[in-house]
């Protein structure tokens, strides 16, 4: 399977998938990485691994709709089977989501449906949660609302800062995202009627 990865920042999840792809048994390859920020370190990670890296700045477009149309064009050039959002900090328009229906994955640093949106680690701490985590889900038009595929939990310890917790969650992100991408590439995973289905079972 051909994957395009969308990023806005450091790209440690991108790196985890790049690393997974170096295994000759891994069923997917990253054909392109696109960032809405030209200085995203993830673009350097892509180039270091000889992957085509594209900066497409949202600031060069008058509207969200215009940007997303340009992004669709760019992604379509890669003829990708799957689009992986890995720290892509943009809300996507309905027409974008519809264009790639069932082919869009996102990773969100909370145990969805808890803590949609930003600052998830601090919110978990402030709520006094003793368990926090990360979710990989299909993208639908509802922000952070698509069907969850896989979650990993981490403990929250007393005195944890948001950074402590983020680091603990990141380790799990790097474990579960390549796994979900593998399932998709093996055609074991798809979205049916806004349900995530793995090996014929609704998750």
Residues engaged in binding ligand GRF (CB under 6 A): 7, 9-14, 86-87, 107-109, 173
Instruction: Tell me how far apart the alpha carbons of residues 89 and 185 are, in angstroms, rounded to a whole number.
Output: 24
Instruction: Tell me how far apart the alpha carbons of residues 122 and 27 are, in angstroms, rounded to a whole number.
Output: 36
92 annotated to bind ligand: yes
48 annotated to bind ligand: no
CB of 9 to ligand GRF, least distance (A): 4
13 annotated to bind ligand: yes
Tokens for 66? 């215009």
CB of 164 to ligand GRF, least distance (A): 14
Which residues, including other chains, have CB under 8 Å from residue 194's CB and lie 6 or more apart? Answer: 138, 140, 146, 147
Q: Which is nearer to ligand GRF, 10 or 27 (CB)?
A: 10
Active site residue 99: no
Of all residues in the shown chain, the one whose CB is closest to ligand GRF is 87
Side-chain half-sphere exposure of 47, counting CA atoms within 13 A: 10
Query: What phi, psi does 150 have (nearest 5°)?
Result: -150, 140
Residue tagged active-site, from 99, 108, 121, 137: 108
Instruction: Tell me how far apart the alpha carbons of residues 119 and 103 are, in angstroms, rounded to a whole number.
Output: 26
188 annotated to bind ligand: no
Binding residues for (6R)-10-formyltetrahydrofolate: 64, 89-92, 106
Catalytic residue annotation: 108
Binding residues: 11-13, 64, 89-92, 106
């Amino acid at each position: 399977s051909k994957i395009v990865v969308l990023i806005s920042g450091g790209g440690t999840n991108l790196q985890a998938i790049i690393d997974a792809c170096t295994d000759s048994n891994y069923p997917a390859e990253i054909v392109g990485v696109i960032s809405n920020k030209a200085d995203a370190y993830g673009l350097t990670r892509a180039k270091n691994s000889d992957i085509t890296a594209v900066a497409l700045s949202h600031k060069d477009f008058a509207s969200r709709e215009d940007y997303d149309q340009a992004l669709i064009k760019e992604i379509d050039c890669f003829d990708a089977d799957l689009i992986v959002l890995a720290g892509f900090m943009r809300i996507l328009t309905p027409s974008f989501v519809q264009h790639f229906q069932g082919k869009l994955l996102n990773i969100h640093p909370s145990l969805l449906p808890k803590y949609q949106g930003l600052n998830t680690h601090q919110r978990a701490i402030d709520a006094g949660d003793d368990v926090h985590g990360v979710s990989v889900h299909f993208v639908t038009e509802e922000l952070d609302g698509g069907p969850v595929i896989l979650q990993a939990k981490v403990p929250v310890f007393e005195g944890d800062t948001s950074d402590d917790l983020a680091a603990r969650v990141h380790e799990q992100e790097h474990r579960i995202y390549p796994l979900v991408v593998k399932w998709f590439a093996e055609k074991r995973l798809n979205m049916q009627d806004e349900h995530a289905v793995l090996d014929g079972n609704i998750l």
